[in-house]
Amino acid sequence: MFTVTLQHYLALGAVVFCLGALTMMVKRNAIGVLIGVELLLNAANINLVAFNRYAAPGALDGQLAAIFVIVLAAAEAALLIAILVNFYNNLITVDVDQGDRLKG
């Protein structure tokens, strides 16, 4: 029988974190960067819940922290989408390299 251990969760969290960091570095599209940030936050959530499961099996500290991170990520995504709509209305693009055109 195969059992899932803490190392499996940590490996999954590391893979998701690396994919999020890679997405943020490679994408020039602001939506792609937002997806990368969300992947980073989800990797942190995986680690929070995994450590809570194995460190304090009866407690809900990790789950509560993960829910808090999810709520903050939703608020961050909503604000960023509003900013991107304004950005697109001004420049007709969501390319992050074009952001310096908004200066003047």
Residue 104 is predicted with a pLDDT of 59
SS3 content of the chain, % helix, strand, coil (to 5): 80, 0, 15
Residue 67, token pair as written in the block: 């829910």
Residue 103 is predicted with a pLDDT of 72
Domain that holds residue 47: 7-93
- CATH number of the domain at 29, please: 1.10.287.3510
pTM of the model: 0.88
> Does residue 104 lie in a domain region?
no
> Does residue 1 lie in a domain region?
no
Give Dmax over CA atoms of the chain in angstroms.
Answer: 64
Angstrom distance (rounded) from CA 44 to CA 36:
13
> Does residue 99 lie in a domain region?
no
> Does residue 98 lie in a domain region?
no
Q: What is the mean pLDDT of each run of 10 residues along the chain (104 residues)?
A: 95 98 94 95 97 92 96 96 91 86 71
Residue 42 is predicted with a pLDDT of 97
Residue 102 is predicted with a pLDDT of 75
Give the count of domains, the chain: 1
